[in-house]
A = this chain, B = another copy of it.
């Protein structure tokens, strides 16, 4: 267990050691720790060794200056200067929130960015402003084929949405458009477990359940052609519209540390006050949430959750008890600190 503060300091120290300016290192460290606090364990400090490897290999710019290159009253477009994805997307989120305050709704896209952690991180930024956040991203590796196809032309392009409530936790959805995210396949492989049918198929169309063969397979989209359609649309909104990579242009950032990824994301902020009374809105969300939570259950079901309930509970727990660092990750982080000459985690 480490505290959020310890983890923040560690991550910032590692980034500074590889040439990231102190302010940027602090910004990214804070966002990565937020990912760990909400239980997005595959998108927090877990990614640090990979990000650093990419910086050291020359594939990511440690001194990037993300810039707003296009803007109108309710839109912006950020060029991430091939820096850490968190810097570009958090600038985009701040831009969307600030413009939505006057325009009512605003949208900001990103190009020349990189992997930026869990989708919900940015949608959530709208919450303290009594705004709704909606986020789309092009995933950082293609594991999905068009419906009926066998070529990996699409990523698991996620959507996140964060909607403020009153006394209830905010409603926060964060989902890939595939039945299982690729990270879950990797976990199955590490554990030596089979995947359930429905996660992947092979190039003959047969169910693929052996996670060690995942490179031969295709992730399945949710709802068949519907999930394919969502992945395509989200990719067009987050990638193509911004001049970012989409389709064959997407670089597999797990396999390739040097090619610029030109990752694209998009964030929208909706100012609830533009539509009506904020307290009334929150009371309606509370009422709906309670209605759903208290509704009748299928046999064997203990509780009915809303999207965001589990990350909310994890955050409350981890803010008190600290963030667990599994021993293999701990060893990786110690090695990383040694390699770059940074302070190790306490």
| Residues of B close to A299: CB separation below 8 A | 204-205
Q: Which of A287-345 contact B (CB under 8 A)?
A: 287-288, 291-292, 295-301, 303-307
| Residues of B close to A70: CB separation below 8 A | 274-276
Q: Does A75 reach chain B (CB closer than 8 Å)? A: yes
The answer to whether A296 touches B241, judged by C-beta atoms less than 8 angstroms apart, is no
Closest to A226 in B: B175
Q: A148-B298, A275-B242, A298-B204 are in contact. Are A173 and B75 (CB under 8 A)?
A: no
Query: In the complex the two chains form, what is the Cα distance from A271 to B71 in whole Å?
Result: 12
The answer to whether A292 touches B149, judged by C-beta atoms less than 8 angstroms apart, is yes
Q: A147-B304, A291-B153 are in contact. Are A72 and B171 (CB under 8 A)?
A: no
Indicate the size class of the contact surface on chain A.
35 or more
Q: A103-B103, A153-B291, A248-B291 are in contact. Are A146 and B304 (CB under 8 A)?
A: yes
What are the interface flags for A241-255 relative to B under an 8 Å C-beta threshold, 1 for contact and 0 otherwise?
111001110000000
Q: Does A203 reach chain B (CB closer than 8 Å)? A: yes
The answer to whether B298 touches A247, judged by C-beta atoms less than 8 angstroms apart, is no
Q: Quick one: which of B102, B230, B246 contacts A173, CB cutoff 8 A?
A: B230
The answer to whether A292 touches B150, judged by C-beta atoms less than 8 angstroms apart, is no
Chain A interface main SS type: mixed
The answer to whether A149 touches B222, judged by C-beta atoms less than 8 angstroms apart, is no
What are the interface flags for A45-70 relative to B under an 8 Å C-beta threshold, 1 for contact and 0 otherwise?
00000000000000000000000001
Q: Quick one: which of B74, B226, B274, B298 contacts A205, CB cutoff 8 A?
A: B298
Of the candidate stretches A28-36, A83-91, A208-216, A231-239, the one touching chain B is A231-239
Query: In the complex the two chains form, what is the Cα distance from A297 to B303 in whole Å?
Result: 42
| Residues of B close to A295: CB separation below 8 A | 145-146, 149-151, 153
What are the interface flags for A83-122 relative to B under an 8 Å C-beta threshold, 1 for contact and 0 otherwise?
0000000000000000110111111010000000000000
Q: A205-B298, A295-B153, A307-B232 are in contact. Are A73 and B74 (CB under 8 A)?
A: yes
Closest to A266 in B: B270
The answer to whether A106 touches B109, judged by C-beta atoms less than 8 angstroms apart, is no
Query: In the complex the two chains form, what is the Cα distance from A106 to B71 in whole Å?
Result: 14
Q: Which 3 A-B pairs have the closest CB atoms?
A: A222-B223, A75-B104, A74-B74
Contacts A/B (CB < 8 Å), 14 sampled: A72-B102, A73-B104, A75-B104, A77-B275, A109-B275, A148-B298, A148-B305, A150-B296, A150-B298, A171-B233, A240-B281, A241-B270, A247-B288, A247-B291
